[in-house]
Chains A and B, each alone.
Chain A
Amino acid sequence: MLHATTLIVSLIVFSAAVIAVLVARPAITATRGGKILAFVAMFCLPIFCGLLGFSREMGRAKTTGFCLSCHTMEAYGKSLLVDDPTHIPASHFQNHRVPSDEACYSCHTQYAMFGGLRVKLWGLKHVAIYYFGTPPAPENIKLYEPYNNRECLHCHLGARSFEEGAVHNADPGTLPAIKSNQLSCISSGCHEITHDLAHLKDAKFWKEAK
């Protein structure tokens, strides 16, 4: 990952150097070759660099470390280590049901068109509130929209444990209701324990093996 960043930064430095030469010696662009060079340096290279950089930044913004780098998120990070299999985020993180280095993003993205971009725009709003507003207490943070089953079904749909689960099939209407998002996976009596910050101080924690 560091290697990729080095390559992108090197390309950016190269592009900036070429543009700097064109700015310092505008007469270069008088010739046909100069015009082509100027177009490549002023249009093609910056767009290419911008896209590469954006893709790199987006990749970095998906990491668990990135999300937990804000103090407000510390308690949420801690909740991933609760030693309780009924605690949904913790059991997913500890058993690698989601990639541990992208734990937050895997469950809190939207598996829909431009979903990743949409949640990152929300992320920009979080950062703006963090730096320029008054961030709420961690336990008062609410999702922008009710949690959609689509995010769970992205992985669980078709899985034997989900499709043939006894509780899911106890009533013939349950499974279709879950699949159509009419019955939330995290509704009361189902997989209701999510981050549960209120009981975090009394929780027992798992010590991750290094």
Chain B
Amino acid sequence: MLSTNRFERRRQVAGVCVVLGLVIEALCLLWATPIAFVVFVAIGGSLMFVGIVLYLFSLVNTVVSPE
């Protein structure tokens, strides 16, 4: 369940992205094929990147305009 607080909600979305990225990366490590390498880099890496950036953005935003 997503929080009603905007900043907490952002962190939750970031967390979900990072978890999805991590799960995809774990599955790719267990699935040793060339396509797993592509999925690891393209999908897992992108989700993690988006999640981390979103998390950092939420941190910066919290400091600038605290609720």
Q: Write the residues of chain A forming the contact surface with B, with a CB cutoff of 8 angstroms.
A: 5, 8-9, 12-13, 15-16, 19-20, 22-23, 26, 29, 38-39, 42-43, 46-47, 49-50, 53-54, 56-57, 60-61, 66, 69-70, 123-124, 127-128, 130-131
Contact = CB atoms under 8 A, between A and B. Distances in A.
A124 B38 contact: yes
Contact of B52 (A16, A43, A57): A43
Contacts of B15: 19-20, 22-23, 42
Interface residues of B, number: 35
Contact of A16 (B22, B30, B40, B55): B22
B35 A23 contact: no
A43 B56 contact: yes
Interface in B11-62: 11-12, 14-16, 18-19, 21-23, 25-26, 28-30, 32-38, 40-41, 44-45, 48, 51-52, 55-56, 59
5 contacts: A26-B3, A42-B14, A50-B25, A53-B28, A66-B32
Contact of B29 (A42, A56, A124, A127): A56
Contacts of A13: 26
The dominant DSSP class at the B interface is helix
B7 to A, nearest CB: 9
Nearest to A65: B32
Given A26-B12, A38-B11, A127 B38 contact: yes
Contact of B51 (A20, A26, A42, A61): A42
Nearest to A73: B34
